[in-house]
Structures are given as C-alpha cells and as structure tokens.
Amino acid sequence: MKLPVLKLILLMNVYNVATGQQKKQGYSMTERVQQLTDMSNKRAVLRFNANKFRDFVKSSPRNYSVVIMFTAMAPQRQCQVCRHASDEFTIVANSFRYSQSYSNKLFFAVVDFDEGSDVFQMLRLNTAPVFIHFPPKGKQKKADTMDIQRVGFAAETLAKWIAERTDIQIRVFRPPNYSGTLALIVLFAIVAAFLYLRRNNLEFLYNKTMWGMGALFFCFAMTSGQMWNHIRGPPFIHKNNNGQIAYIHGSSQGQFVLETYIVMFLNAAVVLGIILLTEAAKGKGDPKKRKMSAVVGLILVSVFFSLLLSTFRTKTQGYPYSFLFK
C-alpha cells in the first residue's frame, strides 16, 4: 500500500517542478499572442510596465512586431509634446485596429517613465517621446528608432515609418474635426455682414495699402513654414533633460513652431527696412526725415538680414557665407 502512495507523491513533485519551470520561463509564444490580442481588442494602445515589457517584447521566440512609444505624461515631467505625440500615436493604432490589414502581427504599446523607468534605463533612453519598433526576429537597427527631430511625429508620418519597418500598410483615419469648417463659416458670415452694413460705401475695397498688408502677411506665413507646421505637427520648442531650451532646430529637415514666428518677425523687419529705404529714395518730403528714414531702413535691413543668414547657417552645416553675425 505504501508503494502507490510513494508513486503518487513522486508524480506530484514532478508535476510541481515542471509547472514551476514553465512559470519561470514565462508564457509560450501562443499564450503571449493570445493575451496581446485580447488586450488589443479592448484597447488599441497597450500600457506596458517593466514586467510586461520583458514578457511580451524581450521574450523570444516572437512572430509579431511591437511599436512602442516611450513617453512621460506626468505633469511634473514637463513634457510639452508628449500629449500631442500620444494623440497622433493613438490615431495610428485605432486606424490599424479598424482597417482591413489588422492582424496579430503588429501591436501598439506605450511605456511611461513613471511606470517603467527600468525600461528607459535598459534601452538608455534619456528623452521623450521616443518611438521604437521591436522586430519579431533579429537585432534592432538604427532605422527601428524613429527620427522625430527630422520628420516629426504626425500620424501619417508614423504610419509611413511603420510600413517601412513592418511592410504593413496603415491608412490613417482621423476623427472628424469641424472646428475649421465652423471657423470658416463664421468668418464668411462676419465679412458678409460687414459688407452689407457698408454697402453704400465700399471704397475701402480699392485701398492698395490694405491689400498690400494682406499679401505681405500671407507671404510671411508661407515663407516662415506655417504650412509645414500644419502638415508635420512639430513641437513648439525642445527642452532636454538638462533644462536647456532650443528655439531653432539644428537641422534643415525640421523646425519648431516658435522658430516659424521668429523667422516671420525677421522677414517682417527686413521688409520694413526696404519700405523705409524706398520711401526715402522717392525724394519727397522733409530731407531730414528722408535721411532718418534711410538710416533706419539700412540698419533694419543689415541687422535682421544678418540674423536671417545666421539662422540659416545654424540649420545648414557648412554654409560658408555670413554678414554681421556668425
């Protein structure tokens, strides 16, 4: 009677040891895929901490890719662009989830610094946001980390980068935003009401100064890069971990929002200087005023054109020419 009992105890010990080793080794690939699929059905962007990152990303073998946004959303982290980057990342994830190309070969996740600081240390990340693609096989390449300083992090740019890394095409579907349409309707209504009230006196429509100022403002907006900002969605400024703030992007392939305002102001100052020089050259009015106008115009053109050239030199390495400032 003792022999069957001993066999039963031995079998139970073997089972416990095998179960313990399986838990120690982690989930199988099938179990990981099933868990990721179940979680992604509930939420397009998964939230990973250090343990989930090791279980679902660092564990092998894997037959799926994971695109992770490393961010710092807590207010005390003062990441001004993380919220906007998270919105664009969520748009891409939702677009993939409801697209015809949706499969369990690609998953989207986010790792917040306050929830997974160990992961940041493991990957030697010292800034946020960062987008990294973890391929199913092989080592990561440099192109698996998205260069947001050069291309930005708009949803369309993210989808293109993901397609280059995974061969999965994602068509971006943005939620409808009627604020622009509503603003345009309100603007047309205000203009129509103004013209109706002034219907007996429309001579201001022939005012060359008004049309000239409007044309200048349009040119300033376009040449400063406002349309590029609208398409790419760059950050307002850049602040590193040391607290240093960059107002001018260091590459000719990118720019900050504040940088466009700076360039707009410099262009406006140069144009103002040229206008003063032109008025002084007409030879009308008080000679002293014309002389003062010419001197002020020359100073404006020289100083602010030099600043424009200096800004261009900082963005285009190796550009040999400068004027007053380097």
In a domain, 177, yes or no: no
Regarding whether 257 and 154 lie in a shared domain, the answer is no
Regarding whether 238 and 154 lie in a shared domain, the answer is no
Regarding whether 53 and 154 lie in a shared domain, the answer is yes
pLDDT of residue 234: 75
Regarding whether 141 and 235 lie in a shared domain, the answer is no
In a domain, 176, yes or no: no
CATH of the domain at 105: 3.40.30.10
Domain boundary among 139, 166, 193: 166
pLDDT of residue 10: 53
Distances (CA, A) of 28 to 33, 65, 143: 9, 16, 29
Q: Which two tokens stand for residue 65?
A: 């890719």
Q: How many CB atoms lie within 10 A of CB 180?
A: 8
- This model's pTM is above 0.95: no
Regarding whether 221 and 87 lie in a shared domain, the answer is no
What residues make up the domain containing 118?
16-166
Regarding whether 292 and 226 lie in a shared domain, the answer is yes
Contact in structure between 104 and 64 (CB atoms under 8 Å)? yes
In a domain, 77, yes or no: yes
Domain boundary among 166, 193, 227: 166
pLDDT of residue 17: 43
Task: Provide the domain count of the chain.
Answer: 2
Phi, psi of 59 (to 5 degrees): -70, 150
Regarding whether 295 and 161 lie in a shared domain, the answer is no
Regarding whether 238 and 162 lie in a shared domain, the answer is no
In a domain, 326, yes or no: no
In a domain, 11, yes or no: no
Regarding whether 108 and 48 lie in a shared domain, the answer is yes
One pLDDT digit (tens) per residue for the chain, 326 residues = 444 544 455 555 544 544 444 444 456 778 888 888 888 888 889 999 888 898 888 888 888 999 999 998 888 877 878 888 888 999 999 999 888 888 888 999 999 988 888 888 888 888 888 999 999 887 888 888 998 877 888 888 899 999 998 888 888 888 776 777 888 899 889 988 888 887 777 777 788 888 888 888 888 888 888 887 777 777 777 766 666 777 787 777 778 888 888 889 999 999 999 988 888 888 777 788 888 888 999 999 999 999 988 888 888 877 777 788 77
> How many whole angstroms from its chain centre is CA 246?
15
Q: What confidence tens digit (pLDDT) does each residue in 251-295 have?
A: 777 788 888 888 899 999 999 999 888 888 887 777 888 888 889
| C-alpha to C-alpha distance for 189 and 179, rounded to whole angstroms | 15
Regarding whether 216 and 116 lie in a shared domain, the answer is no
In a domain, 200, yes or no: no
DSSP string, 47-105: E--HHHHIIIIISS---SEEEEEEE--SGGG--TTHHHHHHHHHHHHHHHHTSTT--TT
Q: Is 106 helix (H, G, I), strand (E, B) or coil?
A: strand
In a domain, 70, yes or no: yes
Regarding whether 125 and 31 lie in a shared domain, the answer is yes
Domain boundary among 100, 134, 166: 166
In a domain, 182, yes or no: no
Regarding whether 90 and 228 lie in a shared domain, the answer is no
